[in-house]
Amino acid sequence: MKGVLEFLARRYIAGVGAEDAVSVARALNGSGILATIDNLGENVRTEEEAGASVREYTGLLDLIKSSGVNSTVSLKLTHLGLDISSLLARDNAGRIIKAASSLDNFVRIDMEGSAYTERTMEIFLHLRSRYPNVGIAIQSSLRRSAGDVRLLIERGASVRLVKGAYKEPPEIAFPRKPDVDRNFEILMKELLLKGKSPAIATHDERLLNEAIRFVNENNIPKGRFEFQMLLGIKRTLQKRLALEGYRVRVYIPYGPNWLPYSVRRLRERKENLFFVVKNIFD
């Protein structure tokens, strides 16, 4: 079972070390695609583990600088100690953002499951009031996100809009996919019109086509927003959009803690599950 998962995960993950991620970023840059690198890890239990994650990220930022690749970084607050305390995660994120600022780089805070949404927003708003080089991800699956997007637009903060990768209860999230998609379209248009450097992060071709139609209709310049996709998904489309002159950024995860991320990716696609089940029973 682990072998099958590992085989499938290889499609979505750059490798174990930061150098693996940087060499994938270099190859993507060669096709005119930007990168954001994520050190895989979440829900650490000790301050030591959170401190190790800060060191990994500052080393990664140095490596991005010295290698000359065009890449930002993405991180999760539970990788920096959010399960231990909000203050610890905030201080750790602040150290990484400060290091990124001195290297002229940018940090995107991923959004995790709904147990963390409020604290992630609070920490983000605090950090954003001190540093301009930080942005956040918002999930169209959550009912609260329209309000969050409005607030973030007001504060001039950069939002990465995603559908949401976590299973959530219907009281706080839209249970039906068409409603998640509809909310994505509404928030996407609001961000494209009024947001600061929004990132439209989806592989959904209907929504991507609608984004392109909308920016043309409203004369929104291509440099004002970007499309983001995950490593290993819709590679031809990534290249085509970059060739058409859109800013395209690919999220590149790396590290030994590949399992939770890979399971989220595998769950998103029925074909992946069939493959796992077939291999278990073969």
Measured over the CA atoms of residue 262, residue 268, residue 273 and residue 274, the dihedral's sign is negative
* Residue placing its CB nearer to ligand FDA in the complex, 90 or 163: 163
Please report which residue ranges of 80-116 form alpha helices under DSSP H: 86-102
Min. distance of Cβ 192 from ligand FDA in angstroms? 16
The C-alpha atoms of residue 93 and residue 95 are separated, in whole angstroms, by 5
When asked if residue 50 is in the footprint of ligand FDA (CB under 6 A), the reply is no
Min. distance of Cβ 46 from ligand FDA in angstroms? 24
Judge whether 130 and 60 are in contact, CB under 8 Å.
Answer: no
DSSP letter for each residue of 145-189: HHHHHHHHHHTT--EEEE---S---TTTB-SSHHHHHHHHHHHHH
Window 110-169: residues binding ligand FDA (CB under 6 A): 110-111, 137, 139, 162-166
The C-alpha atoms of residue 85 and residue 105 are separated, in whole angstroms, by 26
Q: Would residue 130 show up in a list of annotated catalytic residues for this protein?
A: no
Classify residue 33 by its DSSP letter: -
Min. distance of Cβ 141 from ligand FDA in angstroms? 8
When asked if residue 269 is in the footprint of ligand FDA (CB under 6 A), the reply is yes
* Residue placing its CB nearer to ligand FDA in the complex, 84 or 233: 233
Q: Would residue 181 show up in a list of annotated catalytic residues for this protein?
A: no
Binding mask 165-204 for ligand FDA (x = CB under 6 A): xx----------------------------------xxxx
Min. distance of Cβ 257 from ligand FDA in angstroms? 16
CA distances from 143 to 163, 182, 272 (A): 12, 12, 29
Min. distance of Cβ 229 from ligand FDA in angstroms? 5
* Residue placing its CB nearer to ligand FDA in the complex, 139 or 183: 139
- 3-state SS assignment for residue 142: strand
When asked if residue 230 is in the footprint of ligand FDA (CB under 6 A), the reply is yes
The C-alpha atoms of residue 121 and residue 159 are separated, in whole angstroms, by 12
Chain residues that interact with ligand FDA, rule: CB under 6 A? 110-111, 137, 139, 162-166, 201-204, 228-230, 233, 251, 265, 268-269
